[in-house]
Amino acid sequence: MSTSSALLKRISPQEALSRATRPLPPIPSEVPTILEDIRTRGADAVFEWARRLDGFSGDAFEVPRNRMIAAVEALDPGLRAHLEEAIRRVKAFSEVQKTCFRDFEILQEGVCLGQRIVPMQRAACYAPGGRYPLPSSVIMGVVPARVAGVEEVIVLSPRLHPITLAAAALAGADRVFDLGGVQGIAAAAWGLAGVPRVDLVVGPGNRYVTGAKRLLYGDVGIEFPAGPSELLVIADGTAKPAWIAADLLGQAEHDPDALPMLISFEETLIEAVNEELRRQLAELPPDTPARASLANGFAVVVTDEAEAMVLAEALAPEHLELQGPRAEALAAQLRTYGSLFVGEGTAEVFGDYGSGTNHILPTGGAARFTGGVFVGTFLKTLTWQRITHEGQRQQAFQAIALAEAEGLAAHAASARMRLSI
């Protein structure tokens, strides 16, 4: 196959490094316009935008409890069993994660210090309602929030699909709203149109949803501004080209802006993967977004494991697969990714659908400084201190000296008063 006909373009390691910086896409101009309208007109604007953009026709966004129960009862028994198994696995993993967080206190020289771990009071889990229903995203948001102990967990999803509603009920959501988009994020951030004001919004969404989350950060917490899906596969010559191609297409079909990437030690593997991509793409629906997103991706041949490491760490992918012994040997050394999948049998799609880890993950290189959504996303670390009479003098002298060095006279005066006790 010629390079020009390859679906996954071959580029040099240097060019791949130049693509490691992936700035957040600009916020669509419609987003601030919609937000300002909602800020000005409140609930009326939320309803108007929901009708205009999502075809909403009701007089209330909240779904009655009996409709949630009916959605569960209407599920195919086999599908319900699979949803429940995914919930069980994500819950079990989240429960172990929670054990990493604990209250403690220490005493040192008259100063008692401590921390408390507390859950947020109310969180919203967003599930897109566009091209595909995503009940799996409901599970990834609701279950860790529930395990964290969040007092009220709500789900937002526009054009609410019955399977999304059923997943919310099974995962333990308290309330579900048939609302999304910019208007849904605004309603949750400001407490409008029957939606309670939340402390945090998590979950994937299109560029309008992500733009709203970015602009409303501060009014409401967010996990991170998520962008298009990414998968980097590092593979040696023993890996199966068909499996690699299938995994790349699985992520590529999320969105036309998705980013499939392949690093290999052998050029022949890249050629074989491109052949498989061509064959498998022909079997997908003609309107699949994968066709467009493959053009965003690339393939790189590296000379050794060290070069593969440098590229992987710089690219900081959302999902990282290692296939073949040479690639798998890098697992313990890599540390910049959203989630790692080790071994050719460990398909990224298993993480999407409930092997146990979370699939709401950082994109655009954000894995350099954050991990994905987990039980800790919904917890707050509160610190406290109590200083004894004996500790006050030492702390006062220390605070006075440092405050005066900084030129902050009122700080020094506050500390000096404690010397008179």
Phi, psi angles (nearest 5°) of residue 257: -100, 5
CA 130 to chain centre: 18
The residue count of the chain comes to 421
280's CB contacts (< 8 A; 6+ apart) are: 242, 245, 246, 249
Q: How many CB atoms lie within 10 A of CB 367?
A: 25
Phi/psi region, residue 108 (left: phi>0; alpha: psi -120 to 50; beta: rest), is beta
Single out the catalytic residue among 318, 321, 328, 344: 318
- Cα angle vertex 80, ends 340, 341, to 5°? 10
Q: Is 85 a catalytic residue?
A: no
Calpha distance 96→84 (Å, rounded): 19
Amino acid found at 53 = L
Three-state SS at 178: coil
DSSP-assigned letters across all residues of 252-289: HTT-TT-EEEEEES-HHHHHHHHHHHHHHHTTS-TT-T
Q: How many CB atoms lie within 10 A of CB 334?
A: 16
Single out the catalytic residue among 319, 321, 348, 359: 319
Q: Are 229 and 363 in contact (CB under 8 A)?
A: yes
Task: Read off the tokens for 19.
Answer: 């693509």
Q: Is 283 a catalytic residue?
A: no
259's CB contacts (< 8 A; 6+ apart) are: 22, 228, 229, 230, 231, 293, 296, 297, 317
Strands 111-119 and 379-387: antiparallel
Residues that are catalytic: 318-319
